A and B are shown apart, each in its own frame.
Chain A
């Protein structure tokens, strides 16, 4: 089992709709969870971090964490074409940041 798993997509969402990205992780002791956005040929940029169960909202982005189910998700409301990118879920386990394989998201105008 991979340490961090994501659906690789591609995920296609119409402009203005809600994009939902999901991630599961294997290390039950993990405490820190992050979502990064990566445009083609660029380094990842942090968009959300979450450390406790529940929802965390920041603008159009909402991160959701369920430690019992070992599940973390990212919702993007009012999706824009500029949101088209690969979204990487990352989890800190054993003092290192482990990434999922990423979900490629395309927002269709």
Chain B
């Protein structure tokens, strides 16, 4: 149980374009989802907490106008990288937990999206 699906797994886009990444909880409803970014040989850094039906909470230093997060349903959160630049190239990973487990349990991760901006 507690499967998180992420799509696409890989995407290549040109500089200046926007890319949307989807994160779905397949067998549970997630009021909260988390978006992480990982640069090569670095750890996962939390970008934002996605809250169903309300605005996302962004971590310090993460531009909310560049990384748009929408959590319109209990099973889907999307991250849109707007006006992508080569420095946005990274591994983006979403995660979620079933209700009641959001803040004291290990997270279930999606398979990640490798974004390459050329």
Instruction: Classify chain A: how many residues form its interface, as a range.
Output: 20 to 34
Partner of B46, one of A43, A49, A96, A102: A96
| Chain B residues packing against A (C-beta within 8 Å) | 34, 42-46, 49, 91, 93, 95, 102-107, 109-112, 114
| A101 close to B104 (CB less than 8 A) | no
Q: How far is the CA of A96 from the CA of B112 in the complex (A)?
A: 19
Q: Chain A interface mostly helix, strand, loop or mixed?
A: strand
Q: Does A17 count as interface, using CB distance less than 8 angstroms?
A: no
CB proximity of A19 to chain B, nearest CB, Å: 19
Q: How far is the CA of A99 from the CA of B34 in the complex (A)?
A: 13
| B44 close to A34 (CB less than 8 A) | no
| B43 close to A43 (CB less than 8 A) | no
A96: nearest chain-B partner, CB-CB: B46
| A43 close to B110 (CB less than 8 A) | yes
Partner of B105, one of A32, A36, A44, A101: A32
